[in-house]
Amino acid sequence: MAKSGKILIERLRSEASYRRPSGPLWQPAVDVYRCPTGWKIKFDLAGVAPEDVQVLIAEDNLIVRGVRRDSVISEGWSYHQLEITYSRFERVLRLPFDLSHAEIRSESRDGWFILHIDCA
């Protein structure tokens, strides 16, 4: 089932005011599509809750960051094998269009976090 809605977009005045969180970050895979109404950007974020994703705009950079948590582990468990990355992530995309007046909405479906960017 898809969850869709308007997301809070933080528009930074300059890239200088953007600060990367400390510690190692993983980068999710991304597909970028051009469509008649604008752009669609699809992030591979299986296991990431939409409320754990933050979208920032700094000039022509789209910054998507958040955290993937292990929601399955319980008290008293120990791991035998771990291959999935659970930690903070960040992906910075420099896009070939003006983001300053773009209408952006998000959708979370089947492990994908999708941004719909309508350019005026």
CATH number of the domain enclosing 62: 2.60.40.790
| 75 located within any domain | no
Q: Is residue 76 part of a domain?
A: no
Asked whether residue 80 is assigned to any structural domain, the reply reads no
Is 53 part of any domain?
yes
* 56 in Cβ contact with 18 (< 8 Å): yes
The verdict on residue 77 lying in a domain is no
Q: What range defines the domain where residue 62 resides?
A: 3-17+24-69+85-118
**5 exposed, middle or buried (CB, 10 Å; 0-12, 13-18, 19+)?**
exposed
C-alpha–C-alpha distance, residues 94 and 83, integer Å: 29
**What whole-number distance in Å separates Cα of residue 99 and Cα of residue 53?**
19
Task: Name the residue among 110, 117, 114 with its Cα closest to residue 60.
Answer: 117
Q: Report residues of the chain scoring pLDDT below 70.
A: 1-9, 11-23, 120
The 10s digit of each residue's pLDDT in 43-66 is 999 999 999 999 998 878 899 999
Residue 74 in any domain: the answer is: no
